[in-house]
Amino acid sequence: MIGQGLNRVDGPRKVTGRATYAYEYWDAGQPLYGVIVGAAIGKGRITRIDTENAEQAPGVRMVMTHHNAPEQGPRDESIPFEYWRAQPVLTGPDVHYHGEPVAFAVAETFEQARAAAALVEVEYAEGRGHFDFAAHEGDAYAPKKVNAGIATDTAVGSFDAAFHTADVQVDQSYTTPYEFSMPMEPHACLVVPRGEDLYVHVSCQIVDAAQASVAATLRTDPARIHIVSPYVGGGFGSKLGIHAETILAALAARALREPVKVALTRQQMFQLVGMRPTSRQRVRLGAGHDGQLTALAHDVTAHTNRDVEFAEQTAATTRSLYAAPHRLTSHRLTPLDLPRGSDVRAPGEAPGLLAVESAMDEMADALGMDPVELRLRNEPAVDPERDVPYSDRHLIDCLREGARRFGWENRPATPASVRDGRWLVGYGMSAAIRGHFQGPTAVRVRWETDGTAVVESDMTDIGTGTYTVLTQVAADGLGLPPDRVRIELGRSEHPTSWGSGGSWGAANSCTAVHRACATLRERVLTAVHADTRSPLHGRNSSHALFSDGHVHIGDASEALSEILTRMPPEDLEAEGETRFMGDDSNYADYSINTYGAHFAEVGVDADTAEIRLRRMLGVFSVGQVLNAKTARSQLIGGMIWGAGAALEEEAVVDLRSGAFINRDLAQYLVPVHADIPDIDAIILDGYDDKANPLGAKGVGELGICGAGASVANAVFNATGTRIRDFPITIEKLL
Ligand code: MOS
């Protein structure tokens, strides 16, 4: 079962509307609706806020502002991860960014709530905000750590001396814009009070974090907060934590003793749920004429919100990518009065590899060397900064297999040398690398007496295929057909997981299921061995086979549904778990990563500079694949996002107000089908025995890693023009 491209087991529920999303529950009766009023300035103070007209409008039940909002728990920086901290809102008159919630209107219908929100009168004393990243880069400071607890700076050897004496040098800066996770399902919740308890139906990636965060903000016992999140319409990092809509709905539901639901508008998602910070990245590469890198530096400056620090780990994977004896990486933050930065798919690697893999292309060009060959010559024997072996590194296999399948030998050796009618044609490639993470995750697997297995965890399926891969691993582990496995996810009453994020969800939860199934198999075998009523009694169970709902030993077999009726109830369920990577010696002793190679072909109109992607191919190494179909879908989705990062995505700040000008999907461009003509993702067979007993590693975020650079490098190969300010739009290329 493991690895097969099983169709999504939740697919029929989704396409027939039986999969219930956070906003869609009606079992608690008619809810109230909440609408958030956002600040109309980017920096300053509320001097007057008048809610009288709003409160008297039809159907209105409550208007909350900083004057009457309940006291909330403060953000506690001693809690190691932001997503488990309190997220207080409406805490005072100060405005920290454009669109920050200043009021919350609750009414009997959505239309009444929206009308009331429009009647809230706010006056401000506008301050002088810092909105311009380039103008304030000089204010940058070094954060203590970057995201995920990673070191801010690293240095190995003597970079300066090695760089200055290198035969060939590349020293370039690249800029990347503000980018947003824009899951199809907006951030939404329905909070239902029952007695002292709140049932929070919320679209989230990590149920445990949502529970902790709501409880800390409301200053209540986490046991009183019940998170329900069985279906999530995408997250991409923006639902790792909960946001203002959930806190406000919970505060109002608690105060009014009635269900309250809130969904953010698409425009509010550009203000309230975090974004990928803008960055300027300087990459310096020094190499000998033979293409061996001697010096490699990656220095990053990014924006942070003043109030809530977020340092994207943009240079982190550069530390493990190529051999070079002399190396530097650094991260600096420029505080701005803009919404907070946050995790957006492949935080760090996505913008970081865009820069580093563009610089590698510049180095190949300067050396007159094939870009694939340049990467092959800089393959490290051990992780060059951690000085530990790689667990299972197949970057070279990805490069060679990709080059062969793509027909890389047909690449125009000279930029701007191949024309196809109006189109200048170019090929580009890039390497991909991403760290693999393991977190604490528990699942429970229990038999029902008819031989059906039920898997329970607070793990989420954010569209990635969790239901399906867990079904496969449980079916494999217990010898059941997949339709005899039921998966129950997304409830805080279930065993606690690290949820979906960082591409760790599938490997963590599947490993935990794998372990629980091993425990259950052992129990069954012990029971039949001792049980004189079983045809398997006394047989040597080391040759036992679980298949088709039966246990077979030699020529004897018995149905699980028979065996289970004779077992004590406490033996019918088992928990399995994975540990935090910091407590697992393999993660200290090995550099555990996933790898890939991207190849792209573009056509650039010789007159208008219109860029059309012609082909994209990615070849990836992720250890054991859990489901060939869902894994490929994840990788292709990432590659498309990478193409968007190269060519389209950019949120633009109005430097007067600090507002994002293009805050909707009409003006914030993402690729559509017509932009992506021919794309494929190939996954190499693999198994990483250092990662976990399934040999499986993260998939979701690898696809975007490096994908944009392959497109950018193809644009250079087509035109001979290098654009270092992403996205590469027509006016920059002309
Ligand atoms: Mo991912 S950006 O950790 O959901």
What pLDDT digit, counting tens, does each position of 517-573 carry?
A: 999 999 999 999 999 999 999 999 888 999 999 999 999 999 999 999 999 999 999
Residues present in the chain in total? 734
- Please identify, by atom number, the ligand 1 atom nearest to the C-alpha of residue 500: 4
pLDDT at position 28: 85
pLDDT at position 332: 98
Query: Which residue range forms the structural domain that includes residue 480?
Result: 441-579
Whole-angstrom CA distances from 615 to 134, 618, 675 are 35, 10, 10
- Please identify, by atom number, the ligand 1 atom nearest to the C-alpha of residue 701: 1
3-state secondary structure of 490: coil
CB 187 within 8 A of CB 272: yes
**Which residue, 489, 471, 491, is CA-closest to 481?**
471
Q: Determine, yes or no, domain membership for 391.
A: yes
What is the spatial distance between Cα 597 and Cα 432, in angstroms, rounded to a whole number? 6
The verdict on 430 and 381 lying in the same domain is: yes
CA 437 to ligand 1 centroid distance, Å = 12
Per-residue confidence band for 722, with pLDDT thresholds at 50, 70 and 90: very high
The verdict on 280 and 268 lying in the same domain is: no
The verdict on 431 and 447 lying in the same domain is: no
Mutate to test the pocket of ligand 1, among 239, 345, 349 (most ligand atoms within 8 A of CB): 345
Q: Rounded to 5 degrees, what are φ and ψ at 462? A: -95, 25
What is the spatial distance between Cα 44 and Cα 47, in angstroms, rounded to a whole number? 9
Please report how many Cα atoms fall inside a 13 Å half-sphere around the Cα of residue 149, on the Cβ side.
Answer: 9
The verdict on 322 and 422 lying in the same domain is: yes
Residue 102: CATH number of its domain: 3.30.365.10
Helix (H) or strand (E) holding 50: strand 44-50
Does the C-beta of 603 come closer than 6 Å to ligand 1?
no
Does the C-beta of 502 come closer than 6 Å to ligand 1?
yes
CA 503 to ligand 1 centroid distance, Å = 7
pLDDT at 450 over 90: no
What is the spatial distance between Cα 234 and Cα 180, in angstroms, rounded to a whole number? 13
Q: Identify the bridge partners of residue 197 per DSSP, sorted by sequence position.
A: 194
SS3 per residue for 361-375: HHHHHHHCCCHHHHH
Whole-angstrom CA distances from 701 to 65, 349, 633, 714 are 39, 9, 12, 22
Q: Determine, yes or no, domain membership for 79.
A: yes
pLDDT at 318 over 90: yes
Measuring from atom 4 of ligand 1, which residue has the nearest CA? 237
Q: Determine, yes or no, domain membership for 3.
A: no
Q: Determine, yes or no, domain membership for 95.
A: yes
Which residues are known catalytic residues?
Answer: 701
The verdict on 430 and 456 lying in the same domain is: no
Does the C-beta of 344 come closer than 6 Å to ligand 1?
yes
Whole-angstrom CA distances from 643 to 166, 483, 639 are 33, 38, 6
What is the spatial distance between Cα 304 and Cα 333, in angstroms, rounded to a whole number? 6
CB 346 within 8 A of CB 638: yes
What is the spatial distance between Cα 212 and Cα 408, in angstroms, rounded to a whole number? 50
CA 181 to ligand 1 centroid distance, Å = 9
CA 344 to ligand 1 centroid distance, Å = 6
Of the residues 524, 546, 579, the one at which a domain ends: 579
pLDDT at position 670: 96
pLDDT at position 621: 98
pLDDT at position 449: 83
The verdict on 477 and 592 lying in the same domain is: no
The verdict on 291 and 429 lying in the same domain is: yes
Using omega within 30 degrees of 0 as the cis cutoff, is the peptide bond preceding 347 cis?
no
Q: Which amino acid would we find at residue 163?
A: F
Q: What are 35-68's pLDDT values in tens digits?
A: 999 999 999 999 999 999 999 999 999 999 999 9
Q: Determine, yes or no, domain membership for 1.
A: no
Enumerate residues 6+ apart whose C-beta is below 8 A from 424.
416, 418, 603, 604, 605, 606, 718, 719
Does the C-beta of 461 come closer than 6 Å to ligand 1?
no
Does the C-beta of 312 come closer than 6 Å to ligand 1?
no
- Please identify, by atom number, the ligand 1 atom nearest to the C-alpha of residue 345: 2
Q: Which amino acid would we find at residue 480?
A: L
pLDDT at position 27: 84
Maximum pairwise Cα distance, the chain:
85
The verdict on 123 and 153 lying in the same domain is: no
- Please identify, by atom number, the ligand 1 atom nearest to the C-alpha of residue 343: 2
Strands annotated E in 177-259? 188-194, 197-202, 225-228
The verdict on 644 and 668 lying in the same domain is: yes
pLDDT at position 376: 98
| Total H helices, total E strands in the chain | 18, 29
By CB neighbour count within 10 A (0-12 exposed, 13-18 middle, 19+ buried), where does 143 fall?
Answer: middle
Mean pLDDT of 600-610: 97
Q: Determine, yes or no, domain membership for 401.
A: yes
What is the spatial distance between Cα 154 and Cα 112, in angstroms, rounded to a whole number? 55
Q: Determine, yes or no, domain membership for 4.
A: no
3-state secondary structure of 53: helix
Whole-angstrom CA distances from 695 to 10, 244, 507, 514, 626 are 25, 39, 9, 11, 10
What rounded mean pLDDT belongs to the chain?
A: 97
Does the C-beta of 231 come closer than 6 Å to ligand 1?
no
Does the C-beta of 234 come closer than 6 Å to ligand 1?
no
**Which residue, 733, 734, 405, is CA-closest to 601?**
405
Of the residues 248, 272, 296, the one at which a domain ends: 272
CA 75 to ligand 1 centroid distance, Å = 21
Per-residue confidence band for 419, with pLDDT thresholds at 50, 70 and 90: very high
What is the spatial distance between Cα 554 and Cα 543, in angstroms, rounded to a whole number? 7
Does the C-beta of 345 come closer than 6 Å to ligand 1?
yes
Q: What are 612-637's pLDDT values in tens digits?
A: 999 999 999 999 999 999 999 999 99
- Please identify, by atom number, the ligand 1 atom nearest to the C-alpha of residue 347: 2
Helices (H), 257-348: 266-272, 318-321
The verdict on 313 and 416 lying in the same domain is: yes
The verdict on 100 and 68 lying in the same domain is: yes
Mutate to test the pocket of ligand 1, among 187, 701, 704 (most ligand atoms within 8 A of CB): 701
Of the residues 579, 597, 622, the one at which a domain ends: 579
CB 483 within 8 A of CB 520: no
Mean pLDDT of 88-92: 98
Does the C-beta of 343 come closer than 6 Å to ligand 1?
yes
In this structure, the number of other CB atoms found within 10 A of the CB of residue 115 comes to: 18
3-state secondary structure of 103: strand
CB 507 within 8 A of CB 500: no
CB 350 within 8 A of CB 708: yes
- Please identify, by atom number, the ligand 1 atom nearest to the C-alpha of residue 344: 2
Per-residue confidence band for 706, with pLDDT thresholds at 50, 70 and 90: very high
Q: What are 639-697's pLDDT values in tens digits?
A: 999 999 999 999 999 999 999 999 999 999 999 999 998 999 999 999 999 999 999 99
pLDDT at position 324: 98
Q: Determine, yes or no, domain membership for 134.
A: no
First and final C-alpha spacing in the chain: 52
3-state secondary structure of 703: coil
Name the domain count of the chain.
Answer: 3
ipTM surpassing 0.95: yes
pLDDT at 394 over 90: yes
CA 700 to ligand 1 centroid distance, Å = 9
The verdict on 37 and 74 lying in the same domain is: yes
CA 237 to ligand 1 centroid distance, Å = 4
Q: Report, in angstroms and rounded to the nearest whole number, the Rg of the chain calculated over CA atoms.
A: 27
Does the C-beta of 700 come closer than 6 Å to ligand 1?
no
pLDDT at 451 over 90: no
Mean pLDDT of 403-413: 97
Per-residue confidence band for 583, with pLDDT thresholds at 50, 70 and 90: very high
